[in-house]
Each structure stands twice: as C-alpha cells, then as structure tokens.
C-alpha cells in the first residue's frame, strides 16, 4: 500500500493548542501530514506567514511525520503538487460543519480523488479559535494554556 499523505490547511494566526490537538491526532492516523499555512493576500493576519511557519515548526517538531509548508491559491492544486489524497479539517460547531461541508464538496468536484476527513476537537479545546486568542491578547487577557509558551511570548510582543 502506498503511504497516505494528508494536508491540514489553515491560517494558523496563531497556532493554538486546539490546532496542535488536531495535528497530533491526524499525525497518528496518516503516514505523512502536511500542515499547510494559507498565504491569503486578501486578509490582514497578525503574524506574517514566515512567523506562523516558525511557530508551527517549533510546536510540531516532536512529530516525525509532520511537515510545515505554505500554499496560496486552490487547496486542490496544492494537494496535487504534494500527492496528497486527504484533507483534514477540524469541526468545533455546527456552523463550522456547514462551511466545511460546502468546501469539501467543492474540493471533491474539482478533484474527485481528494477526500476530506472531519475531526472533532478534544472537549478541552472545543471553544478555542485563533480569533478568540488574538482578541483576548489584544485586550490584555492571559492566553496561557491556550497557546504554546513560545506563541504566547510572540503574541504579547505583537499586541504590546
């Protein structure tokens, strides 16, 4: 059997423990997992792509079958270039499911060999999002326990 390559795409602005929970569990399921940072020129992220990649590489260095990469454009094109057959997406709530279902069906329409696997977060992280973490940090709240310590330090420096 050929190895199953999966992609876990996202903005990761910044990476949270919720992301890392999903990455760790997906890394146990698939032979190779590519954590793909989306470069979206239409959005204004808090962290530039290079910094998000650095934070992810540090946070995932213990996983031997995980690599961090960057993509822009269509996910299906990136998946073809990487010979990936699976997209892994986290679903926290019904609203996530509705959006992710639409994306999965469109990806399947464009590339029928690309499967989408939805994974639920650990209950501990079911409320967690990068947007919420950024808002807490901007308002001076503690993000300890929501992001790895090296991300917490960068967040504090960014919003100070």
pTM for the model stands at: 0.95
**Pick the catalytic residue: 92, 108, 150, 158?**
92
For residue 105, how far is the Cα from the chain centroid?
A: 19
E strand or H helix that includes residue 117: strand 115-119
Residue 84 sits in a domain of what CATH number? Answer: 3.40.50.620
* Residue 81: both structure tokens together: 């270039």
Range of the domain at 127: 5-159
Could you confirm whether 19 is annotated as catalytic?
yes
What's the Cα-to-Cα distance from 33 to each of 3, 7, 59, rounded to whole Å?
Answer: 11, 6, 14
Number of structural domains found in the chain? 1
Cβ(100)–Cβ(67) under 8 Å?
Answer: no
* Residue 154: both structure tokens together: 């960068």
Cβ(26)–Cβ(8) under 8 Å?
Answer: yes
Written as tens digits, the pLDDT of the chain (160 aa) is 889 999 999 999 999 999 999 999 999 999 999 999 999 877 789 999 999 999 999 999 999 999 999 999 999 999 999 999 999 999 988 888 999 999 999 999 999 999 999 999 899 999 999 999 999 999 999 999 999 999 999 999 999 8
**Pick the catalytic residue: 11, 52, 89, 130?**
130
């Amino acid at each position: 059997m050929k190895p199953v390559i999966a992609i876990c795409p996202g903005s990761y602005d910044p990476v949270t423990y919720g992301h890392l929970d999903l990455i760790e569990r997906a890394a146990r399921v698939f032979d190779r997992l590519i954590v793909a940072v989306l470069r979206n020129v239409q959005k204004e992220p808090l962290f530039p792509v290079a910094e998000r990649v650095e934070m992810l590489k540090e946070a995932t260095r213990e996983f031997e079958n995980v690599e961090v990469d960057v993509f822009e454009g269509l996910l299906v094109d990136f998946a073809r270039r990487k010979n990936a057959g699976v997209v892994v997406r986290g679903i926290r709530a019904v609203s996530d499911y509705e959006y992710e279902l639409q994306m999965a069906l469109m990806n399947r329409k464009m590339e029928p060999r690309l499967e989408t696997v939805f994974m639920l977060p650990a209950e501990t992280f079911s409320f967690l999002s990068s947007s919420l973490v950024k808002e807490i940090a901007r308002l001076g709240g503690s993000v300890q326990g929501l992001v790895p310590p090296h991300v917490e330090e960068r967040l504090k420096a960014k919003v100070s």
